[in-house]
């Protein structure tokens, strides 16, 4: 299915800006048509090869997210047992571009993919995740299937070499460091971004520990949105708009600053999208990444919206 996104400015780090300047220099020399143009182009080309990066970071992640992306909430919200490997596989098979996941910290520094702070809610085990060791949590079985909880490290290995992007939320302050260390170990920066939510300290901590980490900030009001957009951070790549500010104006503002706009598609009245997704209104606003509880329905709505948009453009 072809995927499109309107053109919008992209935040550039120093290396990318240098590459652009190199390209502009070459174009100017070519346009002048002077006798020494060939020699000059060779010199500039050599200079570019030495100082201009070949890619990575935000550009590589944006390439994966080019178009209008659909993300599976909690890796597959309506699956029998959330956060199991089989749930992730099912969401991908249904066409999800992203897996939205939750990361929690165990008392010995492990990182697990699990939403609730208590094991009692979704497993046969009792107690808080943070009060158990990593091995303890790995031996817990999810209700009702008995599937194992996924570790973040195993998920990174499993998705390596695929086109799947991970949208990982820090559920604890303590999980920030260990999660970023695992992303560094597996060189996963081009296929993952981390949600710092609206926790200013959590955002600052993540940026301090991992300057190359792609981050998301969640905004539920215009003050938070303005705070996020004024940050001089090219690796703050996604701004999630909560229901209170899901408007075309807010999306346009995010795009003006070279960021991707994300939004959750469900509303309380939708019964969590059990029957049908609420994605079409967000695609119509220009939202780049839609996180949904109903992947199949959301993808169908994306296709229908793209057909309507293409017909409208063709009729102009």
Is 147:85 a contact under the CB 8 Å cutoff?
A: yes
pLDDT tens by residue, 223-242 = 999 999 999 899 999 999 99
Residue 8: the pLDDT is: 36
Beta-strand (E) ranges in 56-177? 69-72, 98-105, 111-113, 150-151, 165-170
Residue 273: the pLDDT is: 82
Closest CA to 203 of 191, 216, 193: 216
Helix (H, G, I), strand (E, B) or coil at 64: helix
Residue 229: the pLDDT is: 95
Residue 66: the pLDDT is: 83
Q: How far apart are the first and last CA of the chain?
A: 23
Q: List the chain pLDDT tens, one digit each, 316 residues.
A: 333 343 333 333 433 433 333 333 333 333 334 444 334 434 433 343 333 333 344 678 988 998 899 999 999 987 767 789 999 999 999 999 999 999 999 999 999 999 999 999 899 999 999 999 999 999 999 998 899 999 999 999 999 999 999 999 999 999 999 999 999 999 999 999 999 987 789 999 999 999 999 999 999 999 999 999 999 899 999 999 999 999 999 999 999 999 999 999 997 665 678 889 999 999 999 999 999 999 999 999 999 999 999 998 998 7
Peptide bond into 144 cis (omega under 30): yes
Residue 235: the pLDDT is: 96
Peptide bond into 254 cis (omega under 30): no
Paired residues of 241 in beta bridges: 219
Rounded Cα–Cα distance for residues 134 and 260 (Å): 34
Q: CA 227 → CA 62, 199, 220, 221, 231, distances in Å?
A: 22, 12, 12, 10, 7
CA angle 3, 218, 119 (to 5 degrees): 100
Residue 311: the pLDDT is: 92
Q: Kind and range of the H or E element at 115?
A: none
Rounded Cα–Cα distance for residues 127 and 130 (Å): 9
Rounded Cα–Cα distance for residues 237 and 216 (Å): 6
Angle between helices 248-256 and 222-229 (to 10 degrees): 10
Rounded Cα–Cα distance for residues 255 and 247 (Å): 13
């Amino acid at each position: 299915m072809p995927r499109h996104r309107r053109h919008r400015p992209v935040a550039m780090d120093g290396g990318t800006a240098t590459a652009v300047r190199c390209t502009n220099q070459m174009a100017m020399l070519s346009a002048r048509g002077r006798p020494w143009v060939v020699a000059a182009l060779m010199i500039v080309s050599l200079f570019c090869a030495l100082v201009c990066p070949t890619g990575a970071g935000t550009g590589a992640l944006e390439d994966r997210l080019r178009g209008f992306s659909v993300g599976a909430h909690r890796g597959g919200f309506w699956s029998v047992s959330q956060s199991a490997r089989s749930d992730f596989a099912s969401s991908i098979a249904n066409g999800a571009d992203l897996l939205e996941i939750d990361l929690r910290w165990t008392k010995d520094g492990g990182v697990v993919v699990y939403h609730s702070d208590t094991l009692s809610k979704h497993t046969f085990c009792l107690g808080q995740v943070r009060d158990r060791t990593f091995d303890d949590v790995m031996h817990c079985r999810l209700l009702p299937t008995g599937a194992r909880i996924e570790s973040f490290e195993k998920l990174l290995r499993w998705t390596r070499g695929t086109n799947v992007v991970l949208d990982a939320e820090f559920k604890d302050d303590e999980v920030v460091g260990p999660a970023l260390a695992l992303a560094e170990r597996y060189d996963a920066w081009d296929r993952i971004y981390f949600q710092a939510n609206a926790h200013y300290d959590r955002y600052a901590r993540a940026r301090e520990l991992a300057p190359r980490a792609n981050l998301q900030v969640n905004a539920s009001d215009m003050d938070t949105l303005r705070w996020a957009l004024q940050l001089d951070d090219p690796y703050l790549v996604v701004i999630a708009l909560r229901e209170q500010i899901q408007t075309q104006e807010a999306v346009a503002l995010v795009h003006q600053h070279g960021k991707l706009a994300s939004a959750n598609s469900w509303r309380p009245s939708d019964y969590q999208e059990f029957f049908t997704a609420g994605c079409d209104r967000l695609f119509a606003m220009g939202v780049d990444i839609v996180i949904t509880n109903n992947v199949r329905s959301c993808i169908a709505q994306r296709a229908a919206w793209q057909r309507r948009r293409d017909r409208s453009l063709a009729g102009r």
